[in-house]
Structure 1
Amino acid sequence: MEEAQGIQVYKFGGASVKDAAAILNLCRIVRDFGPQGPLVIVVSAMGKTTNALEEIYDLAYRGADYSGQFSALATAHRATVEELMRLQLPKEADVNTELVEEILAELADALVSIDTVWTYDQGYDQIVSYGERLSVAIVTGALANNFSWNEVSKSAAKELITTNENWREGQVDWVETAENIKLNINQLVASGIELIVTEGFIGGTNTNFHTTLGREGSDYTAAILAYCLRAESVTIWKDVAGLLNADPKLFPDTVRYPEISYRETIEMAYYGASVIHPKTLKPLADRNIPLRVKSFLDPAAEGTLIHDCQHPALAPAFIRKTEQCLISFESKDFAFVSEENLEVIFGALAQARLKINLMQNSAISFSVCTDFSERRVHQLLDLLREQFTLHYNTGLTLFTIKNYDAASITRLTAGKRLLLEQRTRNTFQFVCQ
C-alpha cells in the first residue's frame, strides 16, 4: 500500500485542550489555519490530568483512598463536555458523552482491580494512559460537531504505535509501527476522512498492554506518525510565540528564533528545553520533515521553523531543570575511579533507569546529576553501596547555557551557590541549590 500523500500532522498539548474554550479554539485553528488535505491531530491529556492520574495511581497502588481525587478528575471532564455542548454547538450536538462515561467507568474498574503482580511502572502505563483517551474522545466529538461526523475519526494510538515492554519509556518497533500507521491512516483517508485524531504519549504492546513513550511524549508521537507517513510537515501548537531562548515565565526578555536547525534544536531539547520532547527531532531530520512551533493564542503569527538550515550565531539559550539529584560515588580504598568502576556505575544507573544530565569525575570520585526519583535513586544506592561510598543531594537545579558568552554566564550564576560546573566549547552547565 502506498503512503497517503499530502498529510500534515498537528500536535496540541495539555494547555491547548485544558477546557471547553481551549478545545473550541483548537477547532477554530483547524478550520481557519489547517491544510486543505488530510490532517492527523495528536492531542495530550487535558491540562494537568496526567499529574492527577499519577497521584491517583500512586494512592491506588499503595492501597490508599483516592476517591476524592478521582471524583475531581471525572467532574472536570464531565464539565468540559457539558460546556462544549452549551457553547457554539447545535442543540442536537453530542461530544461523545457516552464514550467519555465508558472510559471513566473503565478507569474506575482498572483502579479497583490493579494487579499487584504488575511492577509499579507497568501499572503506571495502564492507568496514566486514560488521560489521553479521555481527551481524544472529547476533542474528536468537538471537531465532528464543528465539521462533520463524516470527516472526522479517532484512531487509537495503542493500535498505531507498537512498542516493547519498557514501561514508561516504550521503545518503538518501527517496522510494525510503520505498517500499522500506513494501513490505518490510508484506509481512513481513502474513505473520505479528513481529520484523524489520536492520542499522544501512548502506544501498545503485542500483548495488548498500554505503554507510554516518556513524560511529555506527545511531540514524539507526532514525529513517529509524520515519519511513517512521510508527512509534509509537523506543527506543534504551544502557548508561546515559537521556540524561545528561555522560558518566558522565568526570563522577561526572551528571544524567539525565527528558524533553527535540527541539530541545534536536538541539543537544546536534550539539555531540557521544555518546548520539544528530546526524541522528536531525529525521525523528522531523517525524513527532512520541517517542524513548526506556533502559538495557539496567536495562530496567525510566524512562530519558529525547525529544518535543515544554516544560520548565524544564535542568542544564548537558558535552560533550567528542577528537582535534580547530585550523586557522588567515591572508591572506598582511595583507588582511582577506573574504567571498571565506571562500567559498574553505568550499569547500575541503567538498571535503575536514571538518565544522566551531567557527569564529572575526579581521581577518586565520580558524580552525576539526574532527575530525582526517590524510588529509583534508592534502588541505585542499594546496588552500589557495598562498592562505593555514596553521597547525594536533592532539591537541586541544573542550569544550561547553550551558545554561552561571558555576559550570559555572569548573569545566570550571580548570587548562586554552585555545587558542580562544566564547560565545553558551546555549552556551560552548573548545578546549584
Structure 2
Amino acid sequence: MEVYKFGGASVCDAKSIQNMAALINNTASENLLVVISAIGNITNQLELLCQYYISNDSRATPLLEEIKNFHFNIVKDLFQDPHHPLYDEIANVFVEIEWLLEEEASDAPDYLYDQIVSIGEVASTKLVTAYLKSIGCNVAWTDARNYIKTDNTYQEAKVDWLKTEAEIQKQLIPLLQKCIVVTQGFIGGTSENFTTTLGRDGSDYSAAIFSACLNAKALTIWKDVPGVLNADPKWFEETERIPQLSYHDAIELAYYGATVIHPKTIKPLQNKNIPLYVRSFKDPTHLGTIITALETPLPVPSFIFKVNQVLISIFPKDYSFIIEENLSGIFSLFHKHKVKINTMLNAALSFSVSVDQHEVKVQALIKDLSFFYKVKYNIGLELVTIRYYNQQTIDRVTIKKQILLELKSRHTCQILMKDTTIE
C-alpha cells in the first residue's frame, strides 16, 4: 500500500483540485490512501474564527459565512449543476460550527479550537472526493477520527498507537483493498468521540501514522517545491534541491524549523523503515527528494530561518547559580504556557532562550517567570540554523546583523540576531 499526502497549496482552488485529481489518476497504484489538509489559508481563517468566538466578537458569524462561501465557490467552479448534492454536504460540515456559535463559549479554549479548526480538513476532503468520483475514480471518503485515536490533550493530542493500529488494520485495510481512500490530516478522535488535533501543520504526521500502521510501501508528500531544498526560496534567491536525506538529517532539519516536513513525521516511518518521498505536484515527473535510513551527509549546507523571535534571559534574583532545580521549575513554566523553545544557552547566572513571538503566551510566561527570577527580553529577532556550517555560511547570513546568541555543535550552528538596518 502507498500513502499520498497533499497540503493546502495543492487544493487551494478548483484548478488545483483538478490538477491533483489528474496526478492521482496518472500516478496512483492500487491500494492508495490520500491524506489531505484544509484548503489554502482556511486553517488560519478558522483559527481567527475561534479567537472571535472565544472573545465574544461579533465578527465570528460573518467570518464563518465568508469561509462557507469560499468553499461553495469552489463547488461552483468544479460542477456546473447549481443543485449538486455537494452544496448540502459542505453546508452540513459547517453546521457543527454554527451550533457552537449559538452557545456561549466555554472556558476550554483548546477544546473549542479543535472542534472548530478541524472542520477545514473535513470540508476539503469532501470536495476532493466528490470531484474524483466525477472523473471516474473508484474512491471512498472516510473519517480519520475513526482511526487515529488520541488522548484528550487538545491542540497537541498524543496518539494511542495500539488502538490506532488496531482500528486501521481492522477497518481501513479492507476498504483500501476495494478502492482509493481519501481521508483527513491533522485530526484524531478521543475514546469519547471528541475531535482532537495533532499540532499545527500536523497533516504530515497523520500521513506518517497511517503509513506506519498500514506497513506502507512508501509515503509521498506532494508540495509546491521540487523536493527538500537547502534553504527557503523566500530567503535565498539561489537554492539547491537535496536529492537524498537520511532520517537523522531530516529529523534535525524539521526540529530546527524546516517547513517542508513536520517534526513528528519521521519517527513512525523510521520505525518501519518506510521511505519518504517529497515531490512537486507542479512537476510529478521529477523525482524530488527521498528520505531513508541510509546515512549520507548533506551535499550542501542547509539554512533554516525563523523570524519574529523573542530572546528571554532569566537571572536569579540573589546571584545564586542556575542549577538543575531552577531549570526544572523554568521548564515547567514553559510547558504550562505551551511556549516551545527554539534554542537555549545556560551560563552560571543566566538561562537564555529563543521562542516564537506569541504575544499572549509569551507575556503570560514572562509574568510567571518574573515572580521567581529577574527577566529581560528582546523582540523582533531572527534565528538562523545552519546544518553542516562553515565560516563562509555564517558570514553569509550575518551581514548587517548584531549577534545576540550563538551556539555551535559538530554539525549545527544557531545564531540569534538583530537586523541593524531596522531602527
TM-score category (smaller protein): over 0.9
Q: Secondary structure of 2:79's match? A: helix
In 1, Cα distance between the equivalents of 2:126 and 2:68? 14
- Which moved further from structure 2: 336-345 or 369-378? 369-378
Q: Match for 1:372 among 357, 362, 366?
A: 357
1:339-364 CA deviation, whole Å, 9 max, x = no partner?
21111111111222221110002221
CA contact (8 A) 1:324 1:369 kept: yes
C-alpha distance after superposition, 1:84-141 (max 9, x if no partner)? 114xxxx699473221011122222222325414x21111111100111110110111
- Structure 1 position 310, deviation (Å): 3.2
8 Å contact from structure 1 (residues 327, 369) kept in 2: yes
1:327 paired with 2:312, answer yes
Shift of the alpha carbon at 1:313? 4.5
| Structure 1 segment 167-182 matched on structure 2, within 5 A | 167-182=154-169
**How many Å apart are 1:173 and its aligned residue?**
0.4
Q: Is the 8 A contact 1:314 1:403 kept in 2?
A: no
1:120 is aligned to 109
Give 2:22's match in structure 1, choosing from 25, 28, 44. Answer: 28
Cα offsets for 1:178-223 (capped at 9, x unmatched): 1111122123134x2x211111111111122111111110000000
Q: How does 1:294-333 map to 2 (within 5 A)?
A: 294-333=279-318
**How far, CA to CA, are the matches of 1:332 and 1:9 in structure 2?**
54
| 3-state SS in 1 of match to 2:371 | coil
Describe how 1:232-247 pairs up with structure 2 within 5 A. Answer: 232-247=217-232
Cα 1:70–1:388 shift into 2, 3 Å: same
Check conservation: 1:95, 1:142, Cα contact below 8 A. no
Contact 1:8 1:233 in 2 (8 A): yes
User: Equivalent residue for 1:3?
Assistant: none
Question: Match for residue 393 of structure 2?
Answer: 408
> What does 1:49-198 correspond to in 2, within 5 Å?
49-66=42-59, 67-86=61-80, 94=84, 96-113=86-103, 115-117=105-107, 119-148=108-137, 151-190=138-177, 192=178, 194-198=179-183
Distance 1:270 1:229 in 2: 25
Q: Which of 238, 247, 254 is the equivalent residue of 1:262? A: 247
Change (3 A) 1:93 1:300: farther
After TM superposition, where is structure 1 displaced by more than 6 Å over at least 4 residues in a row?
none
Alignment identity in percent?
Answer: 42
Structure-2 separation of matches of 1:340 and 1:361: 13
What is the rounded CA distance, in whole Å, between the counterparts of 1:93 and 1:186 in structure 2? 34
Change (3 A) 1:313 1:127: closer
Question: For the residues of structure 2 that align with 1:147 and 1:360, how far apart are their CA atoms?
Answer: 57
8 Å Cα contact 1:111/1:127 also seen in 2: no
CA distance in 2, matches of 1:78, 1:375: 34
Shift, 1:153, TM fit: 1.0
Q: For 2:63 and 2:83, how far apart are their aligned partners in 1?
A: 30
Question: d(CA) in 1 for partners of 2:33 and 2:83?
Answer: 23
SS across alignment from 1:417: strand
Q: 5+ residue gaps in structure 1?
A: 1-6
> What corresponds to 2:13 in structure 1?
19
Answer whether contact 2:147 2:167 (CA < 8 A) is retained: yes
Indicate the RMSD between aligned Cα atoms, in angstroms: 1.6
Q: How many correspondences in the alignment? A: 417
The TM-score normalised by the length of structure 1 is 0.93
Displacement, 1:420?
A: 1.3
- Taking structure 1 as reference, are residues 313 and 228 closer, same or farther at Cα in structure 2, changes over 3 Å only? closer
| Alpha-carbon distance in 1 for matches of 2:101, 2:230 | 41
Per-residue CA distance 1:327-379 (angstroms, 9 max, x = gap): 11100011111221111111111222221110002221111111222232233
Contact 2:204 2:221 in 1 (8 A): yes
1:38 pairs with 2:31: yes
